[in-house]
């Protein structure tokens, strides 16, 4: 089945130690998104790629970076994680030719910062 895959599902890192989260998709969608979701809150969009074009949200901290080496993969890099960065990180994809663009979400990576 076509899907959005996130690895790892659970990630533990130390305060200030860089961490990379991975997302891959078999849907061949041209748009990929990264969201941060803290407990009992709605997902918050960090950035998205429209094809190779990177679109950063205005309030996304510089500590968060992203790479999209090809259509299928997208990475979220947190350069110096702080305790406040502990959250669920969700990857999503969409195809811009759809009417009523639907985003398809991966299972998420839960990040713990010690």
Partner 1 sequence: AQSVTQLGSHVSVSEGALVLLRCNYSSSVPPYLFWYVQYPNQGLQLLLKYTSAATLVKGINGFEAEFKKSETSFHLTKPSAHMSDAAEYFCAVSDQGAQKLVFGQGTRLTINP
Footprint on this chain of partner 1 (rule: CB under 8 A) = 4, 6, 31, 40-43, 45, 48, 50, 55, 88, 90, 92, 94, 96, 99-108, 110
The least CB distance from residue 95 to partner 1, in Å, is 11
Other C-beta atoms closer than 10 Å to the C-beta of 34 total: 24
- CB nearer partner 1, residue 66 or residue 94: 94
Confirm if 68 and 76 have CB atoms less than 8 A apart: no
The least CB distance from residue 103 to partner 1, in Å, is 6
Burial class (CB in 10 A: 0-12, 13-18, 19+), 109: buried
The least CB distance from residue 42 to partner 1, in Å, is 4
The span from the CA of 81 to the CA of 66, in Å, is: 14
- CB nearer partner 1, residue 51 or residue 77: 51
- CB nearer partner 1, residue 49 or residue 81: 49
Among candidate residues 71, 87, 105, 93, the one with its CA nearest the CA of residue 19: 87
The least CB distance from residue 83 to partner 1, in Å, is 20
- CB nearer partner 1, residue 68 or residue 110: 110
The length of the chain, given as a count of residues: 114
């Amino acid at each position: 089945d076509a899907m959005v895959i996130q690895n790892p599902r659970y990630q533990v890192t130390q305060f200030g130690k860089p961490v990379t989260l991975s997302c891959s998709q078999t849907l061949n969608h041209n748009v990929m998104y990264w969201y941060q979701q803290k407990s009992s809150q709605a997902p918050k969009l960090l950035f998205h790629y429209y094809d190779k074009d990177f679109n950063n949200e205005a309030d996304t901290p510089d500590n968060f970076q992203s790479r999209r080496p090809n259509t299928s993969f997208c990475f979220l890099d947190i350069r110096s994680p702080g305790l406040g960065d502990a959250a669920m990180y969700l990857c999503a994809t969409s195809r811009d030719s759809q009417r009523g663009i639907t985003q398809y979400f991966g299972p998420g990576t839960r990040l713990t910062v010690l």
